[in-house]
Amino acid sequence: MDSAEFRRRGKEMVDFVADYLEGIEGRQVYPDVEPGYLRPLIPTTAPEEPDMFEDIISDVEKIIMPGAASPACTELETVMMDWLGKMLKLPEAFLAGQVGEGGGVIQGSASEATLVALLAARTKVTRRLQAASPGLTQGAIMEKLVAYSSDQAHSSVERAGLIGGVKLKAIPSDGKFAMRASALQEALERDKAEGLIPFFVVATLGTTSCCSFDNLLEVGPICNKEDMWLHIDAAYAGSSFICPEFRHLLNGVEFADSFNFNPHKWLLVNFDCSAMWVKKRTDLIGAFKLDPLYLKHNHQDSGTLHWQLPLGRRFRSLKMWFVFRMYGVKGLQAYIRKHVRLAHEFERLVQQDPRFEICTEVTLGLVCFRLKGSNRLNEELLERINSAKKIHLVPCHLRDKFVLRFAICARTVESAHVQLAWKHVAQLATSLLATPRD
């Protein structure tokens, strides 16, 4: 959709809303449709090719508006999460379908999804231990619970531990910045010997610092054997798994209890839209469900009200529906592939300059690089880059190295932008290296 069409469609949407408001008194306050009405009316999978905008708007009136107040909001979310789960080729256990025990829910952020998973895991292990030993108090259990993540995990994982009131321990990553089975097993044995109760592991696929991947095929079986909840945080990288050539990065998801990534990061869905799936939705409902009279209704167990922290919900699945239909699966795959291709283009430019080095393998759309030399030299280069305000880079530390990160993430980015960015970085590096140093 170019700017001209965007303007035209925007005006059409204003007319659509105005017409709705003008005719609102002619609409029923409460819908005639029953829960379950929506799923048979739409396909079971996302379209491969883009749909026409006119067809989508027509379907809004025919399919969505009859249940706009309720239950369309909840039901479209359930179906869209199944669409997306199928695009990722998630195991059936994570899909709601007609009779599945799992399913997906839209959270506000990956941080929120991690917290929700941790709280559900905490409730599950507490009830299991109290059932086995009725004399155990919740406080006695809580003080012994311990969760784990890689030392490369996002800070939001540590925050989830703080909010959840449990210990969180960082597992040292390997030479490729990945959590491996041996390091996790060593920590588990040490903590169990001290009387602690391991209950929750966060595996990261596509770490923030360098887009490294924890080894699910090693970590997953340990979590299953030790009866620990395994949550996968793929906030950024998850979008790429819709491409067959990147799906192997998700191998081992079958061992997980919950999985999350952010379509608002790299799948063209506007913020906020964080997709979370669980194998057993009763684990979430059991942790968060309360039944005040004002929330009771005849179909209260059919929705996703008790799968999240807030009780209020926005109609976030509607934007997923539009994006999936406007682009089609093939269009979304082409978008991901273009960004990865541009990242490798930048990588090649860095490699051609002997003054620079690539710091980690470039797997998706992130390139970690630096000037060969001291951390202070790279800090000065970053300061010059960001002060010039032509491009903006965010750094990270990889072990003892200060590293620059070049991320391909804009919808309209082209090769010319990558070339311009590298030329700018190289010129600033030349200027910096020519500056007399103490």
CA–CA distance, 76 with 42 (Å, rounded to integer)? 9
- pLDDT tens digits, 139-190: 999 999 999 999 999 988 888 888 888 999 999 999 999 999 999 999 999 9
Enclosing H/E stretch for 382:
helix 375-388
Cβ-Cβ contacts under 8 Å for 314 (sequence gap 6 or more): none
Phi, psi of 21 (to 5 degrees): -65, -40
Tokens 């259990």, residue? 141
Tokens 């009771």, residue? 296
- pLDDT tens digits, 74-90: 888 889 999 999 999 99
Phi, psi of 258 (to 5 degrees): -150, 155
Q: 312: exposed, middle or buried (C-beta count within 10 Å: 0-12, 13-18, 19+)?
A: exposed
DSSP β-bridge partners for residue 356 = 371
Number of H helices and number of E strands within the chain? 13, 11
DSSP β-bridge partners for residue 233 = 204, 260
What are the pLDDT tens digits along the chain (438 aa)? 789 999 999 999 999 899 989 988 888 777 788 888 888 999 999 999 999 999 998 998 888 888 766 667 788 888 999 999 999 999 999 998 767 788 899 998 988 999 999 999 999 999 999 988 888 888 999 999 999 999 999 988 888 888 888 999 999 999 999 999 999 999 999 999 999 999 999 999 999 999 999 999 999 999 999 999 999 999 999 999 999 999 999 999 999 999 999 999 999 999 889 999 999 888 888 776 655 544 555 555 545 555 766 666 778 888 999 999 999 999 999 999 999 999 999 999 999 999 999 999 999 999 999 999 999 999 999 999 999 999 999 999 999 999 999 999 899 999 999 999 999 999 999 999 998 876
CB 234 within 8 Å of CB 250: yes
